[in-house]
Amino acid sequence: MAAFVCGGTAASGQSTLTYQQALTMARERAPRVAIARARIDEARGRIVGARMRFRDNPVLDVSAGPRTLESETVTDFELGINQIVELGNRRTARIDAAEASVVREAATSDATIRQLIRDVAVSFVRGQQAQARLDVLRAAESVAKDALDAADRRYRAGDVAVLDVNVARASVARATAHVRVADADRAAAVGELKALLAWTEGADPAVEGDLRDRIRDGLAVQLLPANERPEVRMLLAEAAEAQADVRLGQGLKKPDLGFGLRFEREEGHRAAAAGFSIGLPLFSKGQEQMATGLARASRAELERGVVVTELELRARSAQTVFQMRLAAAEPLQRDVLPGLEENERLARRSFEVGELSLPDLLVIRREFVDTRLQLVDALADAAIASIDLQAAAGVLR
């Protein structure tokens, strides 16, 4: 029975894929991971702009034209250059906001990667489950064919009626149909895994491993502190970015200073002058930045408390579900599994020697198949509950 809870043997041309290999591939080459990391680089571009010493470029203005005098025509010109300088530590506020946005995008990327790792882990277990169910049903198909052969031999010997042969043949047909449905389910599960991993090899991966290994992973899970969770770090960074916007708004209350130089020639006379200007913040003085920044910071803090509570409740719920899934699989492994194969051999032998009728054999065999499938599903459900517990605790990354 151990083969039914482990991954199947790779067929010719298939590549075996273990659980850890699948998670490593997800971290290194999954498209969603690449996109999430690209967003961090995109956010870093904002820092480049924020670190520029001057927000505005210098302004150069030139004017020239002829002037006609009584004796001659001369060319007059004016040349000026002006630079605006910000006050109020606005540059520092912009840098702080840009750096906070990078931290926020990094936390968002981490959350995306964690969700992908969880999806890949669940998809891998679904692939194991589908393969195990396929193995069980293929074995059942083989047993049904053996029963048909035995029924045919007994019919030829005159021990049973042709009805028993027809019933056995119908049983083989149903078993074959179940195998084909299970094979389609396996293809769907593997296809989902391939999509998540951006699988580029021609042959499908053959998932390999034991479902019980995934269950053991959840037995000693420790909850990650809330402030280390990406969902919380994202909101902390958003609050820091909002506070930087508030400081920027406060800085906009300070006037802009302008410094300039001007050279001119008029009627052949040259002159030079230095200029100074002050932009008075009478109307636009950072009201929007301060209002939106304060509201955003308040909302981020409120949301952080909600998220922390939600994470704790989800972790407790996942722990409860995991324990219940374990309890559901335990009696099947303890009371049914040990003698299942021996009982099936005894039933087949009893039918072959005429001690058991075909209808009784079919009922017993159906019970054996259902029990095996129930065990596979129970172990898969417990394995997925283990994965969900690790994800809810923040340790699956």
Alpha-carbon Rg for the chain in angstroms: 37
Q: What is the pLDDT along the chain (397 residues), one digit of tens a residue?
A: 555 555 555 555 568 899 999 999 998 888 888 898 899 998 898 898 888 888 889 999 999 888 877 778 788 889 999 999 988 888 999 999 999 999 999 999 999 999 999 999 999 999 999 999 999 999 889 888 888 888 888 788 887 788 888 888 998 999 999 999 999 999 999 999 999 998 988 788 999 999 999 999 999 888 888 888 999 999 999 999 999 999 999 998 999 899 999 999 887 788 899 999 898 888 888 899 999 999 999 999 999 999 999 999 999 999 999 999 999 999 888 877 776 677 777 777 776 777 777 777 777 788 888 888 999 999 999 999 999 999 999 999 8
Which CATH number belongs to the domain containing residue 130 in this structure?
A: 1.20.1600.10
CB atoms within 10 A of CB 291: 13
Which tokens sit at 239? 């609050």
Q: Phi/psi at 190 (nearest 5 deg)?
A: -65, -35
- What pLDDT is attached to residue 114? 93
Q: Which amino acid is at 162?
A: V
DSSP letters, 290-330, are HHHHHHHHHHHHHHHHHHHHHHHHHHHHHHHHHHHHHHHHH
Contacts of 315 (CB under 8 A, 6+ apart): 223, 389, 392, 393
pLDDT, residue 11, reads 53
Q: What is the total count of domains within the chain? A: 1
Instruction: Please name the residues in contact with 146: beta carbons below 8 A apart, sequence gap of 6 or more.
Output: 348
Instruction: Give me the pLDDT at residue 7, please.
Output: 54
What is the domain range of residue 200? 2-393
Q: How far apart are CA 151 and CA 98, in angstroms?
A: 78
pLDDT at 14: 67
Amino acid making up residue 70: E
